[in-house]
Structure 1
Amino acid sequence: MTEADPPRRRDPSSISRARRYTPRGRTVREAAEAGEDNRARENGARDREAARRERNRAAQQESGTEDLAAKRRREAAARSRERRQRETGEIPEARTESRPAPQSTRRTARSEPVRRTGTVRSTATRRTENVGPQRRPLSRETGPVAVKPLPRLPKLGSPRRRLRMAAAFVMILLVLSGTRLIQLQVTDSAAYAAEALNQRLTTEPLPAERGAILDRNGNRLAYSIESNYIAVDPGMVEGDPAELAALLAPLLGRKASEIEPIIATKESAQGDAIRFAYLQRGVDIAVGNQIEDLKNPGLIVGDDERRVVPGHDLAANLLGFTGGDQGEGLTGMEAEYDEWLRGTDGEVSYERSQSGQPIPGAFYREEPPEPGNDLQLTIDADLQFQVQKILEQTVTDHDATFGSAMVMDVHSGEMLAMASTPTYDAANPFEVDSDEAYRDYGTQATVDPGSIHKAIVFAAALEEGCITPDGTMQVDQTITKGDQEYHDTYQHGDAVLSLAGIIAQSSNVGTIELADCIGKEKLYEYQRAFGLGEITGVGVAGEATGILQEPENWSGTSYGSVPIGHEGTATIIQMAALYAAIANDGVYVQPTVIDHKIEADGTVVEQEEPETRRVISTETAQQLQYLLQAPIAAETGTGRNAELENYHLAGKTGTGGLVVDGEYAPGNVASFVGFAPAEDPQYVVAVSVYVPGGGGGGSTTGEAFKEINEFALGYFGVRPATTPPPVFDVWG
């Protein structure tokens, strides 16, 4: 036993075992010296011990339980005995692997003493009947006896090994954690930081102030005022999108079904998070305050502008309107000059908290907007109002479907008024029954010009010498070209008419005969010179070119139809420019509706001079200026109802057709185009309406032509005529 072993209780049976070898209290040596044979005593002691153990085993079997303490003592004694045998070199009895026999039949033999040298002492053994089989003694020659080691108990774990394993495991965890930290803070730090910033960052536009549209006197026809835009960050919306859309619908003037998808859509088609989407632009500031009171962090109320059109329908078809998320121009001048008017939007980027509030001291960047530029038109607001009023009355009185009227400066080509009907309220442009209300009929509607086209034939005939200003010619009541018969509306029979008479009565036959003298190629050249077949470039979006028949495309009937304004189409502004060239002494001036442009800082950008070209000689133009008074002044003239007291007017009536889907629509287009004063032309007035029920140019538009001239001449301070109107001899 070592010092580390705990003290063991003394086994009472050890005394009996000792007595086997020391009977009567004598030691083995004393017994050997005395030569006393203790074998019988020892055998008796063994028998008594075996009997005692048998009694104990029987008692334990009867009681059904074994004393656990006794069992442990026996096991401890056995271990102690085996340890002493190993220490003293005593040879244990032979054991088998099988279960030992019952103790009542097992005999124990006296162990032979073993010398410290490891050799077995040769001693004679005495057997008795009760002694069990013993191991055969070894002879001295066999040498040392090998002791079979007992099975070892399970080896206890090493604390040091466990500590080393735990330390290694902790080190592995630290290495993995450190590697991940390095990846997050060094390798991927920029990407994660950018993603985090993107989640907090909000970018809102700073709309640029749109430039104003002014009339020639500086009156604002369209301009912008301060308002709010309402936008949404779908990712920060609190509550049900459908309920929020229902709250916003009456405030924004939109259907809830249109608002809900914008609120509920959090990602774009590419999978990117949507952080900003417009719900409505240009709302009143009071409405913006109401929406802010909802306290929903997903709603964004920002500074914006709203387009104001104080005249509502005044020149609405010319001005157009804005719309869309960016407030861009959609029609009219707003669309044609959108880039000049709109400016450049800015933006502000900042970090927002979860509640939607800006984070103080966080990232903030602002790019200020650049305001748009102004556009000053040649239109006079007061004149525009009167022209538009007269036109609408004419359309109403004659049950017309649409119409247009305009006033043009003869020398500069400036459009002083451009009216169109039907029209709309440009302040509420989407409240219309039909998109036709947006159309500017003066520049976009192409019709057969009818007899107002005859002025080209008269100018070409004078210029080419086919007739003199006071010349006459035989004019029949009808004429046939191809398979078509053409006739004069005024019943004159076969008569000789002067040029003034042909113009006054708008003779189809006389005009066709003059065209025959000119020739189709030369007539086509004059048509092109007067601006037919191409846009005027007045500056209005969507201007139409009309259709001009080329000489090689003429048919047999073209020789009769083209000179009197059929088999081709034109806009009323093209016809106004044609008569302006005659009134301007034969020089064509390109029409324009732009006076000049004004930059945001107030710098005036002057416009280029309009394109001009001479079409006919001054002499021919002045002769025609005089002759064109005949339709109004002559007794047989078609425009007698346009005669104006104190002023001499010149002009021509026309009755054309409207082609719809390749066929002529019922009714006709009645027109009146001319200039005043005739002796010194200043302004061209053109009126055109489509009357499904039919009507002549003079009877339908003559009154409107007179009223517009009367107001314009008085408004611009043109002095009345000091001489009586000319007297024309229409008969030769």
Structure 2
Amino acid sequence: MPPRSDEPRRDATGSRRGAVRGGTARGGEPRTGEPPATGPRTGESRTGEPRAGDVGGISDARAYTPRGRTIRESSEERGGQRRTPRAGRSGDPFRPALQVLDGGRAVANRAGRREAAPTRRTGVIRTVPPRAAPDDDEFAEPPAPRRRPGRTPPRRTDTPGRGAPRRTEAPRRTDRPAGRRPVRKPRRPPKLAEPRRRLRLGTVLVLAVFAVIGIRLVVLQAVDTPAYAGGGVGNRLSRIDLPAPRGSIEDRTGAPLARSIEARYVFADPTMVKDRTETAKLLSPLLGVPVSELAEKMKRQGELQFRYLARGVDIARAKQIEALDLAGIGTHRDERREVPGGDLAANLVGFTSLDLDGLEGLEARYDDLLRGQDGRWVYEAGAGDLNAAIPGGYSQTTAPKPGSSLVLTIDRDLQFQVQQILSRQMAQTRGAIGAAVVLDAKTGDVLAQASNPTYNAATPEQSRPTDREDAATSFVVDPGSVHKAITYGAALQEGVITPDSAWPVANTVTRGGVTFRDTHPAEGKKLSVAGMLAYSSNVGTIEIGDRLGPDRLIDYQKRFGLGQPTGEGMPGEASGRLLPADQWSGSSYGSVPIGHSVDATPLQMAAAYATIANDGTYVQPHLIKEVVGADGKRTPSAAPVTRSVLSPQNAAALRTLLEAVTTVDGATGRAAAVPGYRIAGKTGTGLRYVDGKQQPGEVGSFIGMAPAEAPRYVVAVFVWNPEGGGGAVVAPAFREMMGFTLRHYRVPPSRGKSPNFEVFPR
């Protein structure tokens, strides 16, 4: 007999026998006539309409709904194999109901054959919803439900049992033999995406990433390389300045007046000095600096690692300091300005700072030319203890370009003698200021230009600012009677007078309420022009000025170079001042012709006399002869400005008249005569004004030329003495200076004698 089924028997209608209406069947199946909890009600299709012949019952659900497939069964189907359940094991009686809820896909046994029971059951049965492959046969039937062994599957009826959910049967194939089990087509896994498309997309993305990286690398290597390389190298670069040697200042013969020599500077690193007091004691005798000052400089101040202890130290002394091997003390190459002559032409040359920046005189005026261009050494260096040039690393050296040298028109030997004479003559005065100028009458070269007081340019810090001024270009005075040569020259050129002119001269004359007197009164006698110059007659000169008129007098003042800087080359040269004709007062008609109400410098007045000596042609005085470049190329200075002021005949006539000053008995300039030479010149007594205020004392002056018959040199001496008596100094000083100049340049004595002048003609 077949094994007894655990299912209740079914009647003809397909319903179970023994089913309890209105109750719950075994396994928790829904009662007949009640709809399941999650499906449509019994007797209704999925569209909600009742189906004819439907009979409620759980057996229909079991007959037409396949059980769910386990993961293992699904895997077997995908592998093309279908295992047969082992016999003797009954299926799950409640699986059909669950399959109804899971979709109700069941296939009736078309041949009336019952499926063999599975041989074994897995420990865990998982229901996997079946998926229809897109390319499955539309007539393929779902897998048959698992049945318990020994039971005949219920017959399918057109009307499902009551209480069972309605399902749609797959159409029966009529072209296959009855009783044969349909052959199932293996189910293929669903296609998630097209592999080739994914491969192409991935390839494109990878190529795009590599392209971006490649382009960036090309940019970094080819375009941005200099910037990145420069930025990296910049952090490793060290720089050492290579100072350019400063050009020298030489006299006309090439002898140095100021030059730069190699030296050393001594420095301290306060962070490394161990015992600053003991270190200062060792350095003090070598540097000539007090111990307290050195110790203060070596005092630690934050992270400061460099302090100068001394500049311009001799190389030999620097080696002695290096031999001490003091912690935190070192030396390095330096440059020192050397002034071989000390105070020789110091007021002209000036001085520099410790950094060799021009501060005074020609050093300041031509600083850019003398300085040159510093060089530099830029190289890659390591860090820390390896702070040295990296072999094969970046290294670039810019050689320093030495400064150019100035060759002056100054004659060192003559300069020295003029300074000595001026200093010796002024030693008898107190608080006096003196200036002396020696000019070459033909070329305008300044052969000597001295000031007193002076200073040592090697140690300028020990002098006063007033001692460092160049009096020849900054000392503005009323020239006084030396100005009369300009008045007489203009009168000769304009035909107002002749060398033989003479007329009665009174002792005094009044202009604008001011009375002007003569120091050598003529008592109303006829006085020649030569006599007026010999005795420095104010009254006779004022009368010549009246004949000349203010406009013509001012015009000749300008032609002789007054009222404007000479452009000699010294910085800060004063221009002087001329009184315009429209500003003349009544007294100006008396003061201007005799050299008052006129501001001029000693150099301007010396240039005016050089015009007379040079046959009436003005030549601009100048100090710079030529410039010598670092390559030795010599560049002459620009040609001096020249202009005609007097005719050669009138200039020669004026020179002859000026000889009376040093030859006539009782003349004002007898003390200036140089034995063996004819001297033409003029004395003067003027005033000094500072900021428009008259200063006490007087300014004595003498300007002369020699030999008078053919002048070659002009010497001008000015001395301001606040106690008066400057005139007693200048004439003797002129005599010594002119005498040395004539001998120094080997000028032969004059062959003839000065003419005999008739002072009081009949």
Q: Common fold, TM-score beyond 0.5? A: yes
The residue type equivalent to 1:411 in the other structure is: K
Per-residue deviation, residues 293-314 of structure 1 (Å, max 9, x unmatched): 5656765532222111111111
What SS does the corresponding residue of 2:261 show, helix, strand or coil?
A: strand
Q: Report which stretch shifted further, 489-498 or 589-598.
A: 489-498
**8 Å CA contact 1:448, 1:656 repeated in 2:** yes
Distance change in 2, residues 1:689/1:261 (3 Å): same
The residue type equivalent to 1:393 in the other structure is: R
**8 Å CA contact 1:224, 1:308 repeated in 2:** yes
Per-residue deviation, residues 167-204 of structure 1 (Å, max 9, x unmatched): xxxxxxxxxxxxxxxxxxx99xx999969975x75433
Question: Which one of the candidate residues 243, 255, 274 is aligned to 1:219?
Answer: 255
What SS does the corresponding residue of 1:653 show, helix, strand or coil?
A: strand
Q: How does 1:60-459 map to 2 (within 5 A)?
A: 198=235, 202-231=238-267, 237-239=272-274, 252=287, 280-293=310-323, 295=325, 301-325=331-355, 327-350=356-379, 351=381, 354=384, 358=388, 361=391, 364-399=395-430, 401-432=432-463, 434-459=464-489
In the alignment, the residues of structure 1 paired with residue 598 and residue 279 of structure 2 have an alpha-carbon distance, to the nearest angstrom, of 58
In the alignment, the residues of structure 2 paired with residue 535 and residue 356 of structure 1 have an alpha-carbon distance, to the nearest angstrom, of 60
Per-residue deviation, residues 117-163 of structure 1 (Å, max 9, x unmatched): xxxxxxxxxxxxxxxxxxxxxxxxxxxxxxxxxxxxxxxxxxxxxxx
Structure 1 residue 292: deviation in Å?
Answer: 3.7
**8 Å CA contact 1:225, 1:307 repeated in 2:** yes
In structure 2, the partner of 1:713 is 742
**8 Å CA contact 2:426, 2:729 repeated in 1:** no
Structure 1 residue 518: deviation in Å?
Answer: 0.9
**8 Å CA contact 2:347, 2:468 repeated in 1:** yes
In the alignment, the residues of structure 1 paired with residue 493 and residue 373 of structure 2 have an alpha-carbon distance, to the nearest angstrom, of 53
Question: Which one of the candidate residues 661, 664, 667 is aligned to 2:697?
Answer: 667
In the alignment, the residues of structure 1 paired with residue 376 and residue 753 of structure 2 have an alpha-carbon distance, to the nearest angstrom, of 68
The residue type equivalent to 2:753 in the other structure is: P
Q: CA RMSD in A?
A: 3.2
The residue type equivalent to 1:281 in the other structure is: R
What SS does the corresponding residue of 2:461 show, helix, strand or coil?
A: coil
Q: How does 1:562-641 map to 2 (within 5 A)?
A: 562-641=592-671
- Between Structure 1 and Structure 2, the one with more helix by share is 1
In structure 2, the partner of 1:168 is none
In the alignment, the residues of structure 2 paired with residue 439 and residue 196 of structure 1 have an alpha-carbon distance, to the nearest angstrom, of 51
In the alignment of these two chains, the number of paired residues is 538
In the alignment, the residues of structure 2 paired with residue 646 and residue 281 of structure 1 have an alpha-carbon distance, to the nearest angstrom, of 53
What SS does the corresponding residue of 1:323 show, helix, strand or coil?
A: coil
The residue type equivalent to 1:388 in the other structure is: Q
Per-residue deviation, residues 65-110 of structure 1 (Å, max 9, x unmatched): xxxxxxxxxxxxxxxxxxxxxxxxxxxxxxxxxxxxxxxxxxxxxx
In structure 2, the partner of 1:678 is 708
Asked if residue 687 in structure 1 is aligned to residue 717 in structure 2, the reply is yes
Per-residue deviation, residues 434-471 of structure 1 (Å, max 9, x unmatched): 11111110111111111101111101111112111111
In structure 1, the partner of 2:26 is none
The residue type equivalent to 1:289 in the other structure is: K
Distance change in 2, residues 1:631/1:459 (3 Å): same
Structure 1 residue 575: deviation in Å?
Answer: 0.4
Per-residue deviation, residues 41-62 of structure 1 (Å, max 9, x unmatched): xxxxxxxxxxxxxxxxxxxxxx
TM-score, normalized by length of structure 1? 0.68
In structure 1, the partner of 2:569 is 539
Structure 1 residue 280: deviation in Å?
Answer: 4.3
Structure 1 residue 556: deviation in Å?
Answer: 1.8
What SS does the corresponding residue of 1:430 show, helix, strand or coil?
A: helix
The residue type equivalent to 1:666 in the other structure is: P
In the alignment, the residues of structure 2 paired with residue 222 and residue 612 of structure 1 have an alpha-carbon distance, to the nearest angstrom, of 31
Structure 1 residue 479: deviation in Å?
Answer: 0.8
Structure 1 residue 581: deviation in Å?
Answer: 0.4
The residue type equivalent to 1:716 in the other structure is: Y
Asked if residue 561 in structure 1 is aligned to residue 591 in structure 2, the reply is yes
Query: Structure 2 unaligned runs (5+)?
Result: 1-220
Query: Structure 1 unaligned runs (5+)?
Result: 1-185, 268-273
The residue type equivalent to 2:254 in the other structure is: G
Structure 1 residue 328: deviation in Å?
Answer: 1.3
In structure 2, the partner of 1:119 is none
Structure 1 residue 634: deviation in Å?
Answer: 0.8
Structure 1 residue 228: deviation in Å?
Answer: 1.3
The residue type equivalent to 2:576 in the other structure is: G
Asked if residue 653 in structure 1 is aligned to residue 675 in structure 2, the reply is no
Per-residue deviation, residues 604-641 of structure 1 (Å, max 9, x unmatched): 11222111000121221111011010110111310011
In the alignment, the residues of structure 2 paired with residue 192 and residue 597 of structure 1 have an alpha-carbon distance, to the nearest angstrom, of 44
What SS does the corresponding residue of 1:701 show, helix, strand or coil?
A: helix
In the alignment, the residues of structure 1 paired with residue 386 and residue 719 of structure 2 have an alpha-carbon distance, to the nearest angstrom, of 58
Per-residue deviation, residues 559-580 of structure 1 (Å, max 9, x unmatched): 1111111122111000000000
Structure 1 residue 288: deviation in Å?
Answer: 2.9
In structure 2, the partner of 1:71 is none
In the alignment, the residues of structure 2 paired with residue 431 and residue 610 of structure 1 have an alpha-carbon distance, to the nearest angstrom, of 37
The residue type equivalent to 2:424 in the other structure is: Q
In the alignment, the residues of structure 2 paired with residue 196 and residue 249 of structure 1 have an alpha-carbon distance, to the nearest angstrom, of 42
Structure 1 residue 250: deviation in Å?
Answer: 6.3
**8 Å CA contact 1:386, 1:708 repeated in 2:** yes
The residue type equivalent to 1:225 in the other structure is: I
Distance change in 2, residues 1:589/1:538 (3 Å): same
Distance change in 2, residues 1:496/1:460 (3 Å): same
In structure 2, the partner of 1:731 is 760
Q: Report which stretch shifted further, 570-579 or 483-492.
A: 483-492
In the alignment, the residues of structure 2 paired with residue 664 and residue 458 of structure 1 have an alpha-carbon distance, to the nearest angstrom, of 27
